[in-house]
Every structure is written in C-alpha cells, then in structure tokens.
Amino acid sequence: MYRLPSASPSSPPPLPPNNNSPSSPPLLNHPQQPPRLQHSRRHNLLEATNPQTLRKSEKSRPRKQHVKKKDWNPATFFLCIFLCIGSMSIQMIALRKDFEAFTRQSDARIGLLREVVEKLQNGEEVNVEKVLGTGDPEREKEWDEGD
C-alpha cells in the first residue's frame, strides 16, 4: 500500500494548479466565478469605457430572429367604428335633451314677456320689475345665464 507523506508543519502548503496557461482566459482576480460571468463583466467594462460614438450600433449587430407580427383581427375595425358611432349617438341624445330644456325655458320666458306686454297694451298697471324678477338675485342670474 502506498502512503502519502505526512505534511510537516515546516513545509509550505501545496500550490494550486496554474490557471494562467495560454488555453484558458485570465480570471480577472475573481477565480471563484465561472468564465461566462467574467466575459460578461469584461464586455460591460469595455462598453462603459468606449465612447458612445465608437460603440457598435444596434443596426450593425445581427438581428436575433425576425418575429412575425400578428395581423389585425378583422373585428377590430368594426369594434372601433361601433365605439365611435355609439359615443356619437350618446352625444346626440345629450344635445337633444339640452336643446329641449333650453326650448322649454325660452318658451316660458317668451310667454311671460308676452303677458307683460299684453297687460301694458291693455292699459293695466303691471309691476314689471316684480314680474320679471328685477331685484331678486336668483331670478336675475337665471335671465343672465340663459338657463
């Protein structure tokens, strides 16, 4: 049986194998990390130290794969059109309601003015300020706003 000689306390520890041979890349003072990560770090360091004008542009790099874009769904056009038509119809309904309210209010005011004018033409005494709301801030505001 072969026995290894025991290491004496005065002998130096054995040296690690030489990793700086020409076949392997230098380890950049990080021997515990795999070479792939070291290459990545070296690449980032070179990229960071080179001026931006000297770096390779995205156009000169080869593209990985051309991903085919999906075509439009034929229903997308109709969906957009119906959304526009629906929103326009809602707008038309709101405008119609506003116009009808304005017409009713205008008719009421015109009717009130007609009554005052008829009474004045018949010679009756009418307190125009009271009938039309002069002096009352709320009724004056209604006449000014047109609501």
So what's the pLDDT on residue 3?
57
For residue 34, give the nearest of 47, 19, 49, 17 by alpha carbon: 19
So what's the pLDDT on residue 101?
93
Residue 43 lies in a domain: no
Q: How far apart are CA 54 and CA 45, in angstroms?
A: 14
pLDDT at residue 27 tops 70: no
Q: What is the Cα gyration radius of the chain?
A: 46
So what's the pLDDT on residue 81?
95
Percent of the chain whose predicted confidence (pLDDT) is above 90: 27
Residue 113 lies in a domain: yes
What is the rounded average pLDDT for all residues in the chain? 75
Model confidence at 38, in pLDDT bands (50, 70, 90)?
low
Mean pLDDT of 31-42: 56
pTM score over 0.75: no
Residue 120 lies in a domain: yes
Residue 20 lies in a domain: no
Domain hosting 111: range is 104-147
Query: Each residue of 69-122: pLDDT tens digit?
Result: 888 888 999 999 999 999 999 999 999 999 999 999 899 889 989 999 999 999
Residue 26 lies in a domain: no
Residue 122 lies in a domain: yes
Residue 65 lies in a domain: no
Residue 13 lies in a domain: no
Contact 131, 116 (CB under 8 A): yes
Q: How many domains does the chain have?
A: 1
So what's the pLDDT on residue 48?
72
So what's the pLDDT on residue 52?
72
